[in-house]
Amino acid sequence: MSEFDQPQLTVLFEAERIQARIRELGARITEDYAGRSPVLVIVLKGAVPFGADLLRSIDLPVTLDFIAVSSYGASTQSSGEVRLLKDLDASLKGQDVIIVEDIVDTGLTLAYLLDMFHRREAASVRVAALLDKPERRRRAVEVSYIGFTIPNEFVVGFGLDYAERYRNLPYVAILDPARQAGSPERTPGIPMSGPGFSPRQAPVG
Ligand code: IMP
């Protein structure tokens, strides 16, 4: 069966629509940062496709860096602990930083990164996220560049994974295992949404 066309996937944003939206965000960033050279910090792994496209739609001398963190979903760790897995290559001191994220969910990851980058004396820090899921927010974070706001659904594709799968889909889809061929009801243990849903218990991003 094709990896790109499966019954448990309901397309939310087609590839063309995502590309058009990224071009708009890139144009806005180009305007907002005119005369400056921002550093794009791509949060591994989920923001790689978004970051790669956003980067190419910004008409400025940008630089690129990568960071990896792991976080724990609200249901497993009430502390909302975030751990640094891979640090940046370069110092952010005096830099205009744009954090590039795949999705803002609880906001815990971003709150952690924003705090860390301010402590490292970045000149400015803003956030670009392909998706925003505001219903599940636990920490208030300002996201300057949002691709799409989505309801409280578990989505995959365009970098977003479920157990490391589906990152390569060129579109964003709602994952509903209940719609899998030959599967009469929702597969136990597959988190979807609501209080039991815990998107990131393992190092991903
Ligand atoms: P948070 O904002 O700290 O809760 O974490 C955001 C991270 O959780 C994202 O970078 C994703 O890796 C992951 N995540 C949140 N919601 C989803 C989803 O619907 N699908 C896939 N990953 C998700």
Looking from the CA of residue 73, the nearest atom of ligand 1 is 4
What is the 61 CA–ligand 1 centroid distance (Å)?
Answer: 29
Which residue, among 32, 31, 155, has the nearest Cα to 104 in the 3D structure?
A: 155
Active-site residue flag, 115 = no
Q: Residue 190 pLDDT more than 90?
A: no
Considering the domain 16-151 in this protein, what is its CATH number? 3.40.50.2020
Task: Find the residues whose C-beta lies inside 6 A of ligand 1.
Answer: 46, 71, 101-109, 133, 154-156, 160, 199-200, 204-205
At 22-65, the pLDDT tens digits run: 999 999 999 999 999 999 999 999 999 999 999 999 999 999 99
Tokens of 97: 């930083």
Which residue, among 154, 132, 150, 155, has the nearest Cα to 142 in the 3D structure?
A: 132
The answer to whether the pTM exceeds 0.85 is yes
At 79-91, the pLDDT tens digits run: 678 999 999 999 9
Calculate the CA 141 to chain-centre distance.
Answer: 14
At 94-132, the pLDDT tens digits run: 999 999 999 999 999 999 999 999 999 999 999 999 999
Tokens of 7: 């019954």
